[in-house]
Amino acid sequence: MTAQTDTPGSVTTVYKVVGMSCGHCEGAVSGEISGISGVSSVTAVASTGEVTVVSAASLDDETVRAAVDEAGFELVGKA
């Protein structure tokens, strides 16, 4: 459960997602999470299953889980 502040007013959280295997998967997950209010950037890496999210404030885990589910993958928790 790592959450750190990189710049004033932003929070970086790394999530673990299973099922991503390619760039298309990364794009699907990134696109859905990017739609969450307050999210400023998303970086998904299929090879590690890690999704790094920078947001204005801490995000509700269930909101992130719903976005990942919508993309067709499973959020297993914070890395």
pTM, 2 dp: 0.89
> What's the CATH code of the domain at 30?
3.30.70.100
Residue 65: domain span: 3-78
Helix intervals (H) in the chain: 23-34, 61-71
The continuous run of DSSP H or E covering 77 comes out as strand 74-78
Domain count of the chain? 1
User: What is the structure's pLDDT at 7?
Assistant: 61
User: What is the structure's pLDDT at 34?
Assistant: 98
- What's the Rg (C-alpha) of the chain? 11
Each of the 79 residues of the chain gets a pLDDT tens digit; together they read 344 445 677 999 999 999 999 999 999 999 999 999 999 999 999 999 999 999 999 999 999 999 999 999 999 999 9
